[in-house]
Amino acid sequence: MIDDLDFPVEPYRIKVVEPIKMTTKEERELNIQRAHFNIFNIRSEDVFIDLLTDSGTSAMSDDQWAGIMKGDEAYAGCRNYFNFVETIQDITGFKHIIPVHQGRVAENLLFSTILKEGDYVPNNTHFDTTRGNVTHKKGIAVDLIIKEGKDPAKEYPFKGNMDVERLEEFIIEKGRDKIPAVFMTLTNNSAGGQPVSMENIRRTKEVCEKYGIPLFYDAARYAENAYFIKLREPGYENKSIKEIAREMFSYADGCCMSAKKDALVNMGGFLGTNDDDLEQKITNLMIMIEGFRTYGGLSGRDLEVIARGLLEALDADYLAHRIEQVKFLGEELDKIGVPYVKPTGGHAVFVDAGAFLPHIPRDQFPAQALVIALYREGGVRAVEIGGLMFAEKDPVTGKVKHPPMELVRLAIPRRVYTMSHLKYVAHTFKKIMAYKDKLSGFEITYEPRYMRHFTMHLKEITPQEIKVK
C-alpha cells in the first residue's frame, strides 16, 4: 500500500457495476411503516447504501467469476471439492474439512453432535447464530470477553480477547465434563468486530489443554484477525498473513467457518476438525440434512470460488484497504462527534447508540431508533446490535437482562463501496445530529421465540413528524 496517504485507495479497479437508486423521503416512510420498523423487511432495491451486513455481500474478483465456469457439478467427488479441501487444509492445517452451505449449519452440526442438555459453551462472545444453536440444543452459551471489550470508549488493541482467568475459574466451577468445547470468535463480531491477539489464543489453548477441552474457532473473519495481529502484536510485523493464520489455527482443534465473510463469496462455509470420530458423526448427520460430503449443500462452482476467494483474502494489500476503509468511516464520524466503539474493528463501525441517544431508555431500543433514522434520512441500512438482538428474559422472574452495549453496526461489504459512499453515510449522520434529541423509542408488537430481531414487528412510541421538503 501507499504509505503517506490518509485515505484508503482501492487495490482493484471496477469492471462491472450495479446501479443503485435513491428513493424519496415519502417512499422511505412508506417502506419503513410497511416493514413494521424492522429493517430486515425492507427490499434491498429500496436501500441506497446497504450496511446491513458484510456477510455474503462481497464483490467477487474476475478470477472468482472465471472459477464459476470451472464448476464440476458431479454428485460425488467433483474436482472443485478437492481444490476446496486442499486450499483450506493448507491455510488451517485441519485434517478434515467438511463443506456446508453457510456457517450456522457448521454450528448446528457440531452442537448436535457434541452437546448434551445443560452443557456450557464458553466463547469470547457468541455470534447470534452460535448462541441460537447452543440454546436450541439445550446448552448454555456463556460470553467471557475481557472487561476492556465491554467499554465502547476504551482504546485497547485486542478488545475481542477472552478473559482467560475467568475461563479457568468457570471450568473449575462448572466441571470439565459440562464443557464439550471452548469457542473463540475471530474477530469478535458482536463485541465490535474487535480482534483477538495471538497471545490470548495461546493462553486460551493452554487452559483448554490443561482440562482436556477442545478449542474451536468461529473463523468467519480469521483473515481480518490475522491482519490486526500483524499490525498490532510485536513479533508479527514481518510475517505474512498466511503464516499468522497458520499459527492461529495450529492452536485449535477445529473450526466453524462462514465463508460469506473472509472467503469473499456470496454463499458457503465449512467445518474443520482433527478428530476422526467427530468427522464421521458429522458427515453422517450432514448427508441427511445438508448434502453429500463432497458438496455439503453447495454447487461445485461455489466450492471453486470459495477456494479462490480464501487465497485473495490473505493478500495484505487487500486487507490493508479493507481495514483502512472501516477506519476511514470511523474518522468521518469523529468529525461530527458520533460516538462509536474504539478503535474500529475489522468489518464494521459500531456506533454507540446508547451514548448517541441517551434520552431513549434501553427498554425502548435506542439502537433501533438510530437504525430507523438512518433509513428515513438517507436510505442507509444498518443493523441493531443491542437489546433487540441480545436482551434475555429470565424464564422465572421475567426480568429482562440487556447486553453490555447498545450498538448500531455499519458493516462494510468487501470490495463493494468506495470512499464517497462512506462519506455519504457520514453526511446522513450529520443531518440526524440536528434532530437526534427528538427521536422516539420503539416497542415490540410481535416477536417469535428464537432470534426475534429477524422477524419481529415494532411500533414507534411517539410517531415522528417527518418533514419532507
218 binds ligand F0G, rule: CB under 6 A: yes
Active site residue 427: no
384 binds ligand F0G, rule: CB under 6 A: no
129 binds ligand F0G, rule: CB under 6 A: yes
- Which three cell numbers mark 3? 504509505
**What's the sign of the alpha-carbon dihedral 183, 325, 414, 228?**
negative
Least Å distance, CB 102 to ligand F0G, is 3
- Which three cell numbers mark 11? 487495490
Tell me which residue has its CB nearest to ligand F0G.
Answer: 103
Q: Which amino acid is at 458?
A: L
Contacts 24+ apart (CB under 8 A), 205-209: 205/251, 205/252, 207/164, 207/167, 207/168, 207/171, 207/182, 208/182
Active site residue 218: yes
**Euclidean distance between CA atoms 464 and 52, whole angstroms:** 23
> Which residues sit opposite 182 in a β-bridge?
215
Active site residue 453: yes
Least Å distance, CB 27 to ligand F0G, is 26
The count of other CB atoms within 10 Å of the CB of residue 141 is 20
64 binds ligand F0G, rule: CB under 6 A: no
Q: Which residues contact 206 (CB under 8 A, 6 or more apart)?
A: none
Out of 189, 197, 273, 428, which residue is the one contacting ligand F0G (CB under 6 A)? 189
Decide whether 11 or 56 has the Cβ nearer to ligand F0G: 56
- Give me the catalytic one of 261, 321, 342, 347: 261
Least Å distance, CB 103 to ligand F0G, is 3
Active site residue 236: no
- Give me the catalytic one of 46, 50, 119, 128: 128
31 binds ligand F0G, rule: CB under 6 A: no
CA angle 345, 350, 356 (to 5 degrees): 145
Active site residue 245: no
Decide whether 204 or 258 has the Cβ nearer to ligand F0G: 258
- Give me the catalytic one of 127, 222, 249, 390: 127
Out of 31, 38, 53, 64, which residue is the one contacting ligand F0G (CB under 6 A)? 53
Nearest CA to 307 out of 105, 94, 91, 109 is that of: 91
Least Å distance, CB 350 to ligand F0G, is 11
Residue list 69-108, contact with ligand F0G (CB under 6 A): 102-104
Active site residue 220: yes
**Euclidean distance between CA atoms 337 and 322, whole angstroms:** 23
Residue list 269-308, contact with ligand F0G (CB under 6 A): 269
- Give me the catalytic one of 54, 218, 253, 262: 218
The count of other CB atoms within 10 Å of the CB of residue 38 is 22
Report the SS3 class of residue 385.
strand
Residues annotated as catalytic (active site), given as ranges: 75, 127-128, 218, 220, 261, 453
Q: Which residues bind ligand F0G (CB under 6 A)?
A: 53, 55, 102-104, 127, 129-130, 185, 189, 218, 220, 258, 260, 269
